[in-house]
Amino acid sequence: MARPPDPTIGIRSLPAADLALGVPRILAAADLRLPLPRALALPVADATPAVLRVELHEGAPAVRSFHFSPPALGTAAPAAPADRDHKPAHRSTRRTRIAPPQDVVKLSERFFYLLQPDLETMLQAGRLEFPRQPFPFQLDGMAFLVPRHGAVLADEMGLGKSMQAISSIRLLVRSGEARQVLVVCPKGLVSNWTRELADWAPELVVAVVEGDPQRRRWQWSLPDVPVKVANYEVLVRDRDLVAGLGLSFDLVVLDEAQRIKNRSSQTSEAVRSVVRRRSWALTGTPVENSADDLVGIFEFVAPGQIHDRMQPRAMGAAVADHVLRRTKDKVLDDMPPRLNRDERIELTAEQRETYRRAEEEGVLRLADMGREATIRHVFELVLRLKQICNFDTATGESAKLDCLQAELEEVQASGRKALVFSQWVETLGRLRENLGRFGALEYHGGMSTTARDEAIRRFRHEKRHSVLLLSYGAGAVGLNLQFSQYVFLFDRWWNPAVEDQAINRAHRIGAVGAVTVTRFLSADTIEERIDEVLRRKRDLSDAILSQAEAPGASGLTAEELFALFKLAPPRSDERPDSVAA
């Protein structure tokens, strides 16, 4: 038996006879399971080893470059260099950054905002002094306004919207981004604005457009005045003049912008006709009665951004980047508290009788009218009943007045001051007659601007005047009365936004202590039923501005108004969408 081949041997031994077959035959016959070793012949001398090159350096990375052109340094002198071992003056560690708005999409423009110094640095470097240190949330407000072409600053009343707007205007003027600014405000607030501009931006030259047509034409034409202030009525009157002069503004700021919520009004049209690059609206009540109010404001701020068929949630999402709203409880930890009291007043016996009769007769009349009854008829009944809740039309008795007098004795005794609001000038007059011992002063739209300013001055500076009686219309807007610690709502307004405005004349930045708000509510009357509707309106405003769930109903609809008296609503052609405040 043949021995198996030794696997350790590379070459099998072949029988001698195979060698005669020749190499190919030998190979073919050979067992090729085992590899045959190859011998390599290597030259020894002049050996050049192969080189393996490993690429380490990939070359310079691609670079994107952006160039910016800040205004010439002459517009803001650099601070003097300090000594070599200078420790920079203490700076707040907080840095308020200006973020690019969402509608800025070009990378270079987004970089422009991202690469700016923080606001605190810009203010210090530009030597922009403030009479009072801004709150952090106010710096946030400025960071919000400065980069935006369309913005609504909707902070709760009393948080310093005008200060934030003025400070932002300063930054824009200082950086050369704004040379012509127009501030439009209610007539009664023009002096307020000139005071605040002098306070917060003393370096800015300001002109108030007022007076006879010739004077106004000259004022509109003034070339080197960075800030002009005009009231809404002047703008409506001078609309054609402004257009005829070819005026355009880098920025138009509307104060109390809810004035233009009605898109078809002359005021709204006049404001929108002004040629401008930036449009800012300041309002503590962007939604007063319905979502349409916000649409009206946005026709000025960012036309086409929203429309009135949008659901509240969708509207909230669409305006989110354009609207900034803060409330006191969220931003002011150290704000003096606001103490709310609902004073439930029992009518006097005579008042109750007068009220009962008036309501019965009024409801009967409405029922008799059937479908002929209109909103106006219901409105008139509501107003009449509310007036009886204030003062008995037959006897002049007033349970509310009795309560108010008792409260004011305490206010006067403590050396404090109080504001009393009513929707009727006649009521204010009657209150003044009865509250003479408290030095009551009046403030309403029927007074001249001079008389109103004088009333404020005396109330502010003369101790003997403990009470200021104001109408919601004139007194709820723009006044700074933060030295008053008591607010009485003698009768309620149609919507909570205006009531909040009234309350915030006192409860605002600078308030010296807690502000007590007393809302009079006549028990078992129309006032209690209206109060319920007012609560629902608050929910609407919150729903839009906080993008919460949509509320079931919005505004004081015709159905709701008639439901106050358990009546059927009027004919559809007499029915407005909501009751105007």
Interface ranges with other proteins (CB under 8 A): 54-58, 60-68, 70, 73, 76, 78-88, 91, 95, 97, 107, 110-112, 114-118, 121-122, 124-126
Tell me the closest approach of the beta carbon of residue 137 to other proteins, in angstroms: 21
Residue number with CB closer to other proteins (17 or 80): 80
Nearest distance in Å: CB 63, other proteins: 5
Q: Count CB-CB contacts under 10 A for residue 173.
A: 22
Shortest Å distance, C-beta 106 to other proteins: 9
Q: How far is the CB of 538 from other proteins (least distance, A)?
A: 38
The three-state DSSP-derived secondary structure of 206-233 is EEECCCCHHHHHHHHHCCCCCEEEEEHH
Q: CB of residue 124 vs other proteins: minimum separation in angstroms?
A: 7
275: left (phi over 0), alpha (psi -120 to 50) or beta: beta
Min separation Cβ 49 and other proteins, Å: 19
474 near 445, Cβ under 8 Å? yes
Q: How far apart are CA 147 and CA 129, in angstroms?
A: 21
Which of 321/542 has CB closer to other proteins? 321
Min dist CB 127 to other proteins, Å, is: 10
> Distance between CA atoms of 316 and 551, rounded to whole angstroms?
13
Q: Given the complex with other proteins, which of 177 and 397 has the nearer CB atom?
A: 177
Q: In terms of CB distance, is 144 or 459 closer to other proteins?
A: 144
In this structure, the chain runs to a length of 581
For other proteins, which is the closer residue by CB, 93 or 214? 93
How far apart are the C-alpha atoms of 393 and 409, rounded to whole Å? Answer: 26
Q: What is the CA radius of gyration of the chain?
A: 39
Q: Which residues contact 438 (CB under 8 A, 6 or more apart)?
A: 408, 411, 412, 465, 466, 467
Based on CB atoms, which residue is closest to other proteins, 9 or 68? Answer: 68
User: What minimum distance in Å lies between the beta carbon of 277 and other proteins?
Assistant: 21
Q: Which is nearer to other proteins, 116 or 412 (CB)?
A: 116
Three-class SS state of 190: helix
Given strand 181-185, what is the order of strands in its sheet?
206-208, 227-231, 181-185, 248-255, 275-282, 150-153, 323-324
What residues form DSSP beta bridges with 471? Answer: 422
Distance CA 418, CA 484 (A): 5
Closer residue to other proteins in complex, CB, 87/463: 87
Tell me how far apart the alpha carbons of residues 158 and 394 are, in angstroms, rounded to a whole number.
Answer: 40
Which residue lies nearer to other proteins by CB, 43 or 78? 78
User: Quick one: 51 or 63, whose CB is closer to other proteins?
Assistant: 63
- Is residue 199 within 8 Å of 131, Cβ to Cβ? yes
User: In the complex with other proteins, which residue's Cβ is closer, 118 or 454?
Assistant: 118
CB of 457 to other proteins, least distance (A): 42
Token output for 8: 């350790």
Residues 240 and 17: their CA atoms lie apart, in Å, by 126
> In degrees rounded to 5, what are phi and psi of residue 484?
-90, 130
Question: Smallest gap, in angstroms, from Cβ of residue 419 to other proteins?
Answer: 45
The DSSP secondary structure of 248-284, one letter per residue, reads EEEEEEEESGGGG-STTSHHHHHHHHSEEEEEEEE-S
What end-to-end distance do the CA atoms of the chain give, in Å?
A: 123
Min. distance of Cβ 163 from other proteins in angstroms?
24
